[in-house]
Amino acid sequence: MDKTYVAILSFAFLLLLHYLVGRSGGNSNVKKKDVQLPPSPAAIPFLGHLHLVEKPFHAALSRLAARHGPVFSLRLGSRNTVVVSSPACARECFTEHDVSFANRPLFPSQLLVSFNGTALAASSYGPYWRNLRRIATVQLLSAHRVSCMSGVISAEVRAMVLRMYRAAAAAPGSAARILLKRRLLELSLSVLMETIAKTKATRPEADADTDMSVEAQEFKKMSDEIIPQLGTANLWDYLPVLRWFDVFGVRNKVLDAVRRRDAFLRRLIDAERQRLDDGSESEKSSMIAVLLTLQRTEPEVYTDAMITALCGNLFGAGTETISITTEWAMSLLLNHPETLRKAQAEIDASVGSSRLVSADDMPRLSYLQCIVSETLRLYPAAPLLLPHESSTDCKVGGYNIPSGTMLLVNAYAIQRDPTVWEEPTKFKPERFEDGKAEGLFMIPFGMGRRKCPGETLALRTIGLVLGTLIQCFDWDTVDGVEVDMTESGGISMPKAVPLEAICKPRAAMYGVLQNL
């Protein structure tokens, strides 16, 4: 009992010491009377505004913006933060001050999972990052490369649709209850596994209740262990004193999962290197094959460490963007059956019922594209984008932003701004028809130098998956109950309640489905 009492007193003393040092230390340069800092809610000692971190965080920040304005500041433990929630101020950040905000904050937990900050999404702005960005946009995710991936995407979509068709055929009334969240996550992981690695992934047994390869299942298990340790939920990043004790064992949990992930990625790279050594190259080579080919001429640039970090980043960034956005789109369509019928009619008229919709059909399916755009407006997969950090002092919205401040841009709030969007919370794909939304501000994939380079791949995959689901099946809610649209939150914005729905093969598509 005495030892426990001493430990509690010691911990309390360290908290107090940390707070006093923080007050007297490195932030003195931002407390000058002549500096106009953004407004801020009332803070509490040591924690600052961490007590305001509620789930979903983007919604909590939207409520704070309604009280404190489109630019306000927070102190999240030891982190000074500014939150931007208006189109004008976001434009200012990513145009006039784009270089100033091109850095990422270095969180201890993210350093552990991002190859010590060398991954594309986490690395600091500079020559190394610019080279990574060039590789990603030119060599891996260009329009030509994405076009070459269409066959892989279509094959994975067919595999998912076939399994759903078989489930429906075996169900009473040929209508199956499908957990769409799981199917979509499996699909996005499988697409990325094929496009990034193409290692002739091992498929599970025919009667296994999954569409994922064994490799994709392994990667999902590791991701499920890593992701909960990231973001504002992890106080370890915001309160350095917790890292002295690591009372929650965060470091060991993350390191264990990261070690297994890195070994997994190295196996994929080694397998692809062996395939190349055997002379199995083609125009549709995997991303790893492209990088290994470049390694032969510039080994000092395309190191194994760089390839591992880049591929790990692509896996992590792509999986949830695709699956979460498609799940939100299907949820919206189930709650708006008239929109679903209109989308089906467009596909029937443009594609017909003798084949599945393809990537080449996408430019002609304008209403389907409107649905995707409206889904991204209402439910951006990364509602706060990824955090930025100022490398120089600058001004946003008339307020001084000191160097070293973390920037959170609330895309969720910006894309629901009532001064920009008519009926901003209403699902209206028609607002995007005939260029009516041209020029209205949306940033679901970010903006400026740090904009997501995988936007083209994500949009192509989402459009093809959504279009195929609409074309092949009639959909209904479970027991006629409206789909719950409650949001969860973190780095991404999944649904709080995973989507389940009733799917029934459309009579006009039976011939195609039976021959998949």
Q: Is the pLDDT of residue 235 over 90?
A: no
pLDDT digits (tens, 9 = 90+) for 177-190: 999 988 998 898 88
Domain of residue 56, residue span: 2-514
In a 3-state reduction of DSSP, which class is residue 242?
helix
Cβ atoms of 14 and 241 within 8 Å: the answer is: yes
In angstroms, rounded to a whole number, what is the distance separating the alpha carbons of residues 462 and 329? 9
Domain count, the chain: 1
Instruction: Specify the higher pLDDT residue, 497 or 205.
Output: 497
Cβ atoms of 50 and 235 within 8 Å: the answer is: yes
Neighbouring C-alpha atoms within 13 Å toward the C-beta of 497: 8
In angstroms, rounded to a whole number, what is the distance separating the alpha carbons of residues 234 and 244? 15
Q: Is 452 annotated as a binding residue?
A: yes
Q: Which pTM value belongs to this model?
A: 0.90
What residues does 395 pair with on adjacent strands?
400
Mention every residue, 6+ apart, whose C-beta is less than 8 A from residue 47. Answer: 77, 239
**Residue 41, domain CATH:** 1.10.630.10
Which residue type, as a one-letter code, is found at position 419? T
Q: Is the pLDDT of residue 9 over 70?
A: no
**pLDDT of res. 209:** 59
In angstroms, rounded to a whole number, what is the distance separating the alpha carbons of residues 197 and 287? 7
Which residue type, as a one-letter code, is found at position 445? F
Cβ atoms of 158 and 356 within 8 Å: the answer is: yes
Question: Which of 307, 305, 308, 279 lies closest to 294, judged by CA?
Answer: 307
Q: Is the pLDDT of residue 4 over 50?
A: no
How far is residue 439 from each of residues 5, 220, 420, 432, measured CA to CA in Å?
Answer: 62, 38, 10, 11
Cis omega before residue 204 (within 30°)?
Answer: no
pLDDT band at residue 7 using 50, 70 and 90 as cut-offs? very low
The dihedral through the CA atoms of 10, 11, 17, 20 has a sign that is negative
Question: Which of 332, 317, 439, 409 lies closest to 378, judged by CA?
Answer: 332
